[in-house]
Structure formats: structure tokens, C-alpha cells
Amino acid sequence: MTKPRFITFEGIDGSGKSTQSRLFADALRAQGTDVVLTREPGGSPGAEEIRQLVLTGDPDRWSAETEILLFTASRRDHLEKTISPALEAGKTVVSDRFADSTRVYQGATRGDLRGMVDRLHELMIGREPDLTFIIDMDPATALQRGLARKSGEDRFEDFGLPFQETLRHGFLALAHAQPDRCVLIDGNRTPDQIASEIAAYA
């Protein structure tokens, strides 16, 4: 049996993470791998409740510091209740977003809070994925795709295009800083083209 892997998908809003994490989980299952497909914020009942607090309402609802605490709390619950038990049971975990999202969204967009994000991560989470796909794409197109869904969870999309541009650069910097774990994927293609590139890692 191969070692269970913890694999994450990251990128700006509307970049195709949910679509690709689903297709990748399908590819893994097709080759007989036991997979838990999950997402953040959320992925456990408690973390899904926190999701509602952070994704709905006024863009100014939380300070950047409070937001870091809420995302870290939801991740801790997700790790305790879903990710760690699955890995211990020998399953592969595929998560749509994880700690890199906090590094970029909370760490690099409203002042430089990256140090605080990193300290809290070390204290409360202390685990990195084995493999991370960072889907890169044009923020204007991604924003259109994301808002077209009208999910009602658009608090971050509501910050607008310049915010998404900053996020894109944050994710690119992260991919370059951690090349042994991160794979940069060009998201400006059809879903099938992207999925077949990613399936090579199944």
C-alpha cells in the first residue's frame, strides 16, 4: 500500500480549485485509492459553522487579526475531526484550500501580518501538505466566474479586482518559495486540459 497523502488545491477565488479537486479525487478513486475530499473553511461540522461567520456579511465585519484567529480555529477543528483521522486510517486527503490561503489572504493583503499567521500555524496546526497545486489565472476572468455563481459567500470577492491581483501575486510568491511541495498550474485552459496535467500526480 502506498503512503496516504495530504494534497491541497490553492489559488484565487474562481480559479477552478473546487472543479479540479473533484476531478483529481475521481482520478485517484479510479486507480483504487481511498480518498476523502474536503474543503476549507469547513470540512467538519464545527468548521462549517465558522465558515458562515467568515464568508457572509459586511466586508469590514472582522479585523484582519480576528479573521486569522477564526480561520485558524476552523482549520484546527478540520484537522482534528477530518484530516488527521483520515490519514491515520490510510486514506488520501484532498482539500480545496488549507493553510496557504491564510498565508496569502490574511498574511499579505491588509498590512504585513504574515509573521502572525506563521506563528499561529506553528502553534496550532503544525502540518504542511505533501503536495499543493496552485492554480494560477487571470484575476478578472476568475472574479467573473466566481461572482457568476452567486453563492452568497462572496465576502472576499466583494473586496474587488485589485485585491484579487494582490492575492495572485501572493500565491505566485508562495509557489516559488516552496517548490518542493508546490506545483504551479496554468488555469487559463479548459477543465479537461488542466485535469489531465494534474492527473499525472495521481
Binding flag, residue 107, ligand TYD (CB under 6 A): no
CA angle 15, 21, 27 (to 5 degrees): 135
The string over 175-187, giving b where at least 16 C-beta atoms fall within 10 Å of a residue's C-beta and e elsewhere, is: beeeeeebebbeb
Binding flag, residue 71, ligand TYD (CB under 6 A): yes
Residue 31 binding partner per list ligand TYD, ligand ADP, none, with a CB distance cut-off of 5 to 8 Å that depends on partner kind? none
Binding flag, residue 97, ligand TYD (CB under 6 A): yes
Q: Which residues touch 42 (CB under 8 Å, ≥6 apart)?
A: 48, 50, 51, 74, 78
Q: Which of residues 13-32 bind ligand ADP (CB under 6 A)?
A: 13-19
Minimum CB distance to ligand TYD smaller for 77 or for 96: 96
Least separation in angstroms between CB 2 and ligand ADP: 27
- Per-residue interface string for the shown chain with ligand ADP, residues 134-163, x marking contact by CB under 6 A: -----------xx--x--------------
Evaluate whether 41 touches 110 at the Cβ level (below 8 Å): no
Evaluate whether 66 touches 5 at the Cβ level (below 8 Å): no
Least separation in angstroms between CB 170 and ligand ADP: 15
Binding flag, residue 146, ligand TYD (CB under 6 A): yes
Of the residues 57, 160, 162, 191, which one makes contact with ligand ADP according to CB under 6 A: 191
Q: At what angle do helices 139-148 and 161-177 cross, to 10 degrees?
A: 120
What are the DSSP calls for 99-118, one per residue? HHHIIIIITSSSS--HHHHH
Binding flag, residue 20, ligand TYD (CB under 6 A): no
What is the three-class DSSP state of 147?
helix
The neighbour count for residue 158, using CB atoms within 10 Å, is 11
Binding site for ligand TYD (CB under 6 A): 13-14, 17-18, 40-41, 55, 71, 96-97, 101-102, 105-106, 146, 156
Task: Tell me which residues touch ligand ADP (CB under 6 A).
Answer: 11, 13-19, 145-146, 149, 190-191, 194
